Structure 1
Amino acid sequence: MSLTWTAARSSGLHGLLRVPGDKSISHRAIIFGALAEGRTHVSGFLEGEDTRATERIFSQLGVRIETPDAQSRIIHGVGLHGLQASAAPLDCGNAGTGMRLLTGLLCAQAFDSVLIGDASLSQRPMARVINKLEAMGGRISAREGNFAPLHVHGGQYLRPVEIDTGVASAQVKSALLLAAMYAEGESVITEPRPTRDYTEAMMKSMGWPISYSPGRIRIRGGGRLQGGDIGIPGDISSAAFLITAALLIPGSDITLENIGVNPRRTGILQALRLMGGQIEVFNEREQGGEPVADLKIRHSALKAIELPESLVPDMIDECPIFFVAAALAEGTTDASGLAELRVKESDRIASMVTGLRAMGALVEETPDSVTITGGHLHGAVIQSHHDHRIAMSFAVAAQCASGETLLHDCDNVATSFPGFVDLAQSAGMILE
């Protein structure tokens, strides 16, 4: 299915808004709730296509999951060794998080599994996960080029390792952590740069023997997870589109409630503040072991910056909307260390550069960097390449552009932000 949006200049965003639950935490809540002993009650679950795909897979693996109401799940855990083989392939849809984490978990099972995905996911690199898991003793067969479908061979002996992920990727790290749960002994996992720590935090909160600091984790195999309550905050990746829109559109003043502000996810807030963005963080609290806060955002005159490369791992999913902010800021913004964007749902550097140029922006790119000179944007016809973050980024850009913008291939927005158009309209965005 191909979905087209029409967008135009907005006169301002206002209101008290809530965004859907965090996608990364929702995936992990299903996974660890399934592996726990006892029941796990999840509130704030993201009702998106990606997270529902992970939920369906665990149902195929013999886990009973109830839906008492929207955004809630009750997971009847089967314990570390209670998963059952599925006769049918396990369809991850568009979820790279789901596929990579499940590869780590399934290579430790006694049975074989086949992981499949949609056309986009089937073109995304899996070698970085496969190679690291094979160093632990896993065995995974892939299509030529290390692409899905993945045949994960069960019945392997996994050994504890001291290993570096080699790339700043929370998905690679989490796949290794899931496999290490089944290894006999202690594993030490390090990263070239710290990434989001949702996996470690959830494992520790459920009783697993794990210790960690930024970029380094020690984990022992053979532990137990205890079910309980998991409250999922609003996804800062989803909030970033509304935050940036409010900063850019004159007259805007919005408040976002219950947003997850894990330090490994707030790079976008730091970047926008460096540009002069007025973002107030208040009512800070903890929910299920995760820091949560409310945010107040007002229109601000943004200025170009040289993006600190240290922020990139903590805002990798928010880089497309950051590029929009740069295209409308005063001056020339430089950002580097962005190679990871080339292997997302689309080549996000190429997708953003092409679209911004179509709207009149002056943009230069290298394999891992962009240089964007701020100015005026005009309406254009944009291809989103079935990439949810590209579609929403250009929906925001169109709110500040002259004329009308047509956005094609917006169907995959439902993977991470169901109801985006309705919420955007209610806040004052011109989007249909």
Structure 2
Amino acid sequence: MSAGRPGAGRTDTAALPVAFVPEIPGSKSITNRAALLAAAAAGTTRLLRPLVSEDTLAFREALVDLGARVTAGPRDEYWEITGLGGAPAGRARVWCADAGTAARFLLPFCAAGEGRFLLDGTAQLRARPLRPLADALTSLGATVRTAPGAALPLQMDAAGLHGGEVDLDGSLSSQFLSGLLMAAPLARAPLTIRTRSLVSRPYADMTLALMRHFGADAEETSPGTIEARPGGYAASRLAIEPDASSASYFFAAAVIAGRTVTVPGLGRESLQGDLRFVEVLRRAGARVETTGEATTVTGTGHVRGGFAVDMGEISDTFMTLAAIAPLADAPITIHGVGHARLKESDRVAAVARNLRACGVDTEEGPDRLTVHPGRPVAARIACHRDHRIAMAFSVLGLRVRGALTLDDPDCVGKTFPGFHEELSRFRTRYGIPVGGGGTHRAVHHP
């Protein structure tokens, strides 16, 4: 591709070879939800192709600490989880590591049981909020003692959840609602949850779909009000979809490299809201095809800008768009992502600072980011131990003049341990050099 203005140099996609098919790991969101539901169920569940990463392994170990039995198949091709037939009982210390889903899902699970449970995690996880969930569980009968700021470490004295009605603030994270929902069928009486200002709504829809797969009786009776009835869960069998958030990096790479990427297993019936990211890429000029079996994105090497998009419901992918936005032909504004400031890092601020380090004019507000066209230059990317920052800027590295350097390349192990190898395979397939000449430059690791 020739040098020139951002996005210059179109590629004749009709002459391209067959699509690149990246090996996308299983969905973290589905893996951890399904693992918890299997641990609560009576009987043995088989999860096919679960994600094997730092977050999911921490979650799996926590379930073992709470009494579930987990057997992994060869090369972790499947997990068999023999459940408790309900909530945990007794005493347990639970290490959540960096996994926000572990803290937010296991806390209600423990509250539905009986005994004393101590939950803790890394300094990064201790900085993430828990107050809305702790307050809701207290109102339902649990005794919760948190560290200052309503954070981990946390002690839970549980005697079961009595059901009834509860209001939940969903403006900080949808994980609070998902955690409470999954515990609701374990309560002694029907539980009605009223949530307001819910962010990332598709994750709550995913949770409800998986609960029903495992036999729960739960429904949204009116907008923002969900009722779950007692009855628990039954063991099942579930094939885990490829992770749509992880796939976003390769879909974006296709756009800026003028290539085609296909991800089998991510089709029209996907449970994952983040697959809607491809519709954002369509606005940016990509050709998108979604069938019942797969999603394919074809780029031209040109990124069309000049639009604003609300990514509040798919906020795990806003960084992917922000990272390729400097290559667009006009500014791109992303809004609705204020809650992303409370993730593994303040993602809005971190993305803005890293783009500026690359010489890109970037403006930020409380819940928005505007990225102007530019010619990104070599820089050292501050990952803040955040896997999604590392992966998003690795994609930008395909088109940077010079080399981007990640200060923590290994942080991708949180959700996608093989990411760098897959991106290298994409780069090799299409002759995109590492630190060589031309406009394509890849990320270097220290």
Q: Same fold (TM over 0.5)?
A: yes
Return closer, same or farther for 1:214/1:271 CA change in 2, 3 Å cut-off. farther
Q: Which amino acid aligns with 1:100?
A: R
1:122 aligns with 2:102: no
Partner of 1:75: 81
| Equivalent of 1:274 in 270, 283, 298 | 283
Q: Which amino acid aligns with 2:47?
A: V
Matched-pair contact (CA < 8 Å) for 2:260–2:296: no
Partner of 1:54: 59
Deviations 1:75-127 (A, max 9, x none): 1122114x24344x211111001110111111121111111111211111112
Deviations 1:292-312 (A, max 9, x none): x33243334222244333x42
Matched-pair contact (CA < 8 Å) for 2:324–2:395: no
Cα distance, 1:403 vs. partner?
0.5
1:195 aligns with 2:208: no
Instruction: For residue 20 of structure 2, give the secondary structure of its aligned residue in structure 1.
Output: strand
Partner of 1:174: 178
Cα distance, 1:269 vs. partner?
1.7
1:25 aligns with 2:30: yes
Matched-pair contact (CA < 8 Å) for 1:267–1:312: no
In the aligned structure 1, how far is the partner of 2:350 from the partner of 2:223?
A: 30
Matched-pair contact (CA < 8 Å) for 2:331–2:371: yes
Deviations 1:304-363 (A, max 9, x none): 244333x421x1111111111222211111222221111110110111111100111100
Q: Unmatched 5+ residue regions in structure 1? A: 1-10, 286-292
Partner of 1:6: none
Instruction: For residue 146 of structure 2, give the secondary structure of its aligned residue in structure 1.
Output: strand
Partner of 2:242: 234
Please report the RMSD computed on the Cα atoms of aligned residues, expressed in angstroms.
Answer: 2.2
Counterparts of residues 2-401 of structure 1 (less than 5 Å): 15-69=20-74, 70-81=76-87, 83-87=88-92, 89-155=93-159, 157-167=161-171, 169-181=173-185, 182-193=187-198, 194-196=201-203, 197-212=205-220, 216-250=224-258, 252-259=259-266, 261-262=270-271, 264-282=273-291, 284-285=292-293, 293-309=294-310, 311-313=311-313, 315-401=314-400
Q: Which amino acid aligns with 1:302?
A: V
In the aligned structure 1, how far is the partner of 2:73 from the partner of 2:216?
A: 28
Matched-pair contact (CA < 8 Å) for 1:21–1:45: yes
Matched-pair contact (CA < 8 Å) for 1:92–1:99: yes
Matched-pair contact (CA < 8 Å) for 1:132–1:165: no
In the aligned structure 2, how far is the partner of 1:137 from the partner of 1:350?
A: 38
TM-score between the two structures when normalised by the length of structure 2: 0.86
Q: Which amino acid aligns with 2:349?
A: A
Instruction: For residue 329 of structure 2, give the secondary structure of its aligned residue in structure 1.
Output: coil
Bigger relative contact order (CA 8 A; separation at least 6): 1
Matched-pair contact (CA < 8 Å) for 2:26–2:50: yes
Cα distance, 1:214 vs. partner?
9.0
In the aligned structure 2, how far is the partner of 1:217 from the partner of 1:39?
A: 31
Q: Which amino acid aligns with 2:86?
A: L
Matched-pair contact (CA < 8 Å) for 2:181–2:228: no
In the aligned structure 1, how far is the partner of 2:61 from the partner of 2:248?
A: 28
Matched-pair contact (CA < 8 Å) for 2:340–2:348: yes
Matched-pair contact (CA < 8 Å) for 1:168–1:195: no
Greater shift after overlay, 233-242 or 401-410?
401-410
Return closer, same or farther for 1:327/1:123 CA change in 2, 3 Å cut-off. same
Matched-pair contact (CA < 8 Å) for 1:112–1:151: yes
Cα distance, 1:215 vs. partner?
5.1
Partner of 1:411: 410
Deviations 1:220-248 (A, max 9, x none): 34213111111101001000011111101
Among all aligned residue pairs of Structure 1 and Structure 2, give the percentage whose two residues are the same amino acid: 27
Cα distance, 1:379 vs. partner?
1.0
Q: Unmatched 5+ residue regions in structure 2? A: 1-10, 433-441
Aligned length: 409
